[in-house]
């Protein structure tokens, strides 16, 4: 898979860090829609989802649940939704804890955006309609994956992988594309990707206590 070539470089206000793949685990859980269930749904995309390691068992046993709050910021600007991205760098932000705890996990999930997909470049004023009608949402970011590198997997699942390039939406509040779905039955966790975070220009040294 394309994971073999994955290499992420992210920057926060405090630091710059890289992410490398250590292991990939397939996920099977009765709480998650099966392949047969997902195959029946339209507009399927393989997406990255970020989560703290402490939340992974809950996701595996219960599946993804919509966010419990709505805020005009990335990750929450689409209301009570399950939000993922086609950029691994976006998911890596949510999985990062601290430089002295460099191990983390990213989730690869298949999401069905449904028959109707609405695109936004700014936070929608009314998210209740999106939630009630379970309309698939794509938030357009300032960066996107190179479309020439996209491909179809298992016949009809779009994989939007590729190097990140500037998009035409330079004024978007989102750095990367975000996708939102409102029905847990439209998402299926397929892989856990174990990653290691490494702060650029910093070396971690173990010091024995005196």
Overall domain count for the chain: 1
In a domain, residue 78? The reply is yes
125 has which bridge partners?
Answer: none
> Measured between alpha carbons, how far is 208 from 24 in angstroms, rounded to an integer?
33
In a domain, residue 74? The reply is yes
In a domain, residue 204? The reply is no
pLDDT at 173 over 70: yes
In a domain, residue 163? The reply is yes
Torsion angles phi and psi, residue 120, rounded to 5: -130, 145
In a domain, residue 210? The reply is no
Torsion angles phi and psi, residue 4, rounded to 5: -60, -30
Average pLDDT over the chain, rounded to whole?
A: 82
In a domain, residue 93? The reply is yes
- Please tell me the pTM assigned to this model: 0.84
> Measured between alpha carbons, how far is 96 from 198 in angstroms, rounded to an integer?
10
- What CATH number did the domain enclosing 169 receive? 3.90.228.10
> Measured between alpha carbons, how far is 178 from 83 in angstroms, rounded to an integer?
7
pLDDT at 166 over 90: yes
CA angle, 113 as apex, 68 and 12 as ends, to 5°?
A: 55
- Residue 7: per-residue pLDDT: 45
In a domain, residue 206? The reply is no
In a domain, residue 73? The reply is yes
Query: Using an 8 Å Cβ cutoff, are 188 and 33 in contact?
Result: yes
Domain that holds residue 173: 2-199
pLDDT, tens digit, for every residue of 130-157? 989 888 999 999 999 999 999 999 999 9
> Measured between alpha carbons, how far is 1 from 15 in angstroms, rounded to an integer?
30
């Amino acid at each position: 898979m394309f994971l073999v070539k994955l290499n992420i470089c992210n920057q926060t206000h405090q630091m710059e860090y890289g992410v490398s793949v250590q292991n990939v685990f397939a996920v099977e859980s009765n709480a998650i829609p099966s392949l047969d269930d997902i195959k029946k749904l339209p507009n399927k995309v393989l997406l990255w989802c970020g989560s703290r390691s402490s939340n992974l068992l809950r996701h595996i046993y219960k599946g993804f649940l919509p966010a419990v709050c709505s805020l005009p910021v990335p990750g929450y600007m689409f209301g009570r939704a399950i939000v993922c991205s086609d950029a691994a760098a976006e998911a890596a932000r949510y999985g990062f804890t601290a430089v002295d705890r460099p191990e983390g996990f990213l989730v690869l999930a298949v999401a069905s955006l449904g028959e109707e997909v609405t695109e936004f470049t700014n936070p929608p004023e009314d998210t209740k309609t999106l939630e009630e009608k379970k309309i698939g949402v794509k938030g357009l970011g300032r960066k996107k994956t190179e479309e020439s590198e996209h491909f179809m997997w298992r016949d009809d699942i779009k994989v939007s992988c590729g190097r990140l390039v500037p998009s035409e939406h330079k004024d978007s509040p989102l750095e990367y594309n975000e996708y939102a779905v409102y029905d847990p039955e439209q998402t299926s966790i397929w892989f856990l990707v174990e990653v290691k975070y490494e702060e650029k220009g910093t070396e971690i040294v173990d010091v024995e206590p005196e």
